[in-house]
């Protein structure tokens, strides 16, 4: 233990002497959390809408006013000619066009029904679906207003009430921030721990260490423990920011979050250590780690639900430790889940971490 303590002490001295390492550890993760939490969102705002009102009646202007009063829309123009909106759609200057045909008010008065057309730029399919949903919701509100005006005593045959659990305000930051916290500890665990071992190869000090009586597990433990501690510190700081800056609820046990994070870090540091054993330079280690990390992040469920992926991708995702930890931290923070609720994912992470660490230690050969 004394040998490991001295190696850990030496590693901390090297970390704090390295001017390039300190910003990577303490500045970049905080900036990443603050920027991504606001920038990465599936909410659609400032929809550039064109209204082609060929009827120009009281009813059509009432429908237009419903859209104008919505905070999601930015009305670019309103003219009777739909071809103007078509040109704007083709040039990418608007996102959506509402066409109100001539005779709209007359149809409402005589037949109690009328038609409008919604045309949406669907290059981005998910954004188009959301924009269409927003506009349909506004039109439905307009329909309810008309029904209330025509038949004020008519009630709904089926009354529906609803509530949103775990994210009552439907704030996308509540969904994203826990996942971004996982990225913070992952970067520290995978990138820096792996690059730290490779740096010994580049500088030639690895051969000096190999001829010492330091045993292999002591050297690896001394190399990994500092980044394990720093990553947990980053997680603590990130949780403080999540609570007091983003007002993210932490309903579960904080100790349980750190317990799972401790096991998760062993898994990602094992991956970083394994990458360091098959590379000779920091550049090689960084590129391979980045390649692995990008795949893991995109398939982790951070941005899109894992359930939406094809079956082969879900099967491949069984090897993704980030997916397990993101699911766990969201459950603990937002649902208040206890250990019994996450035990399956926790056991998988534990087995994953132990396997990667043993593989990495076996792969690292201490030669003279």
pLDDT of residue 90: 86
Q: What is the mean pLDDT of residues 90-99?
A: 90
**Residue that wins the pLDDT comparison between 21 and 132:** 132
172-229 pLDDT, tens digit per residue, is 788 889 998 998 889 888 887 777 777 777 776 666 666 667 777 777 888 888 889 9
Above pLDDT 90, what percent of the chain?
Answer: 24
Among 285, 318, 287, residue whose Cα is nearest residue 301: 318
pLDDT of residue 333: 93
Cα 275 from Cα 197, distance rounded (Å): 10
Lowest mean pLDDT among 15-19, 26-30, 51-55, 156-160: 156-160
Fold of 47-150: abc type-2 transporter like fold (3.40.1710)
339-349 pLDDT, tens digit per residue, is 999 999 999 99
Lowest mean pLDDT among 2-16, 180-194, 240-254, 289-303: 2-16
Whether the predicted pLDDT of 155 surpasses 60: no
pLDDT of residue 226: 87
Q: What is the 3-state secondary structure (H, E, C) of the chain?
A: CHHHHHHHHHHHHHHHHCCCHHHHHHHHHHHHHHHHHHHCCCCCCCEEEEEEECCCCHHHHHHHHHHHCCCCEEEEEEECCHHHHHHHHHCCCCCEEEEECCCHHHHHHHHCCCCCEEEECCCCHHHHHHHHHHHHHHHHHHHHHHHHHHCCCCCCCCCCCCCCCCCCCCCHHHHHHHHHHHHHHHHHHHHHHHHHHHHHHHHCHHHHHHCCCCCHHHHHHHHHHHHHHHHHHHHHHHHHHHHHCCCCCCCCCHHHHHHHHHHHHHHHHHHHHHHHHCCCCHHHHHHHHHHHHHHHHHCCCCCCCHHHCCHHHHHHHHHCHHHHHHHHHHHHHHHCCCHHHHHHHHHHHHHHHHHHHHHHHHHCCCCC
* Model confidence band, residue 129 (pLDDT cutoffs 50, 70, 90): confident
pLDDT of residue 148: 66
pLDDT of residue 367: 45
Whether the predicted pLDDT of 324 surpasses 80: yes
pLDDT of residue 368: 39
pLDDT of residue 176: 87
25-51 pLDDT, tens digit per residue, is 777 777 878 787 777 666 677 889 999
pLDDT of residue 208: 66
**Residue that wins the pLDDT comparison between 154 and 76:** 76
| Interstrand relation of 73-79 and 117-120 (parallel, antiparallel or unpaired) | unpaired
pLDDT of residue 34: 79
Whether the predicted pLDDT of 70 surpasses 70: yes
Q: Domain extents for the chain? A: 2-40+171-363, 47-150
| SS3 category, 25 | helix
Among 210, 224, 219, 235, residue whose Cα is nearest residue 325: 235
Q: What is the mean pLDDT of residues 81-90?
A: 89
235-287 pLDDT, tens digit per residue, is 999 999 999 988 898 999 999 999 999 999 999 998 988 888 888 888 888 88
Mean of pLDDT over the chain: 83
């Amino acid at each position: 233990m004394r040998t490991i303590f001295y190696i850990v002490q030496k590693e901390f001295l090297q970390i704090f002497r390295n001017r390039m390492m300190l910003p990577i550890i303490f500045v970049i993760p905080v900036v990443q959390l603050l920027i991504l939490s606001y920038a990465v969102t599936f909410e659609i705002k400032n929809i550039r809408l064109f209204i082609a009102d060929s009827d120009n009646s009281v009813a059509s202007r009432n429908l237009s006013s419903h859209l104008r009063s919505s905070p999601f829309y930015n009305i670019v123009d309103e003219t009777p000619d739909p071809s103007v909106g078509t040109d704007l759609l083709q040039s990418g200057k608007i996102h959506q066009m509402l066409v109100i045909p001539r005779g709209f008010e007359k149809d409402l008065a005589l037949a109690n029904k009328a038609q409008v057309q919604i045309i949406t730029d669907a290059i981005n399919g998910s954004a188009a679906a959301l924009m269409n949903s927003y506009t349909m919701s506004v039109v439905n509100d307009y329909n309810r207003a008309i029904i209330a005006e025509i038949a004020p005593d008519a009630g709904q045959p089926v009354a529906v009430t609803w509530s949103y659990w775990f994210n009552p305000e439907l704030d996308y930051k509540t969904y994203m921030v826990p996942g971004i916290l996982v990225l913070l500890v992952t970067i520290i665990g995978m990138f820096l721990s792996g690059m730290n071992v490779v740096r010994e190869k580049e500088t030639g000090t690895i051969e000096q260490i190999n001829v010492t009586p330091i045993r292999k597990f002591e050297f690896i433990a001394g190399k990994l423990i500092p980044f394990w501690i720093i990553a947990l510190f980053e997680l603590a700081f990130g949780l403080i920011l999540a609570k007091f800056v983003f007002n993210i609820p932490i309903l579960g046990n904080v100790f349980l979050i750190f317990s799972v994070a401790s096991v998760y870090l062993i898994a990602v540091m094992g991956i970083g250590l394994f990458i360091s054993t098959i590379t000779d330079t920091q550049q090689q280690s960084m590129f391979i780690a980045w390649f692995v990390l990008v795949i893991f992040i995109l398939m982790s469920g951070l941005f899109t639900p894992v359930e939406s992926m094809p079956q082969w991708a879900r099967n491949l995702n069984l090897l993704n430790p980030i997916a397990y930890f993101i699911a766990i931290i969201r459950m603990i923070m937002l649902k208040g889940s206890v250990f019994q609720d996450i035990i399956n994912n926790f056991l998988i992470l534990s087995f994953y971490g132990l396997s990667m660490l043993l593989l990495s230690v076996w792969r690292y050969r201490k030669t003279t």
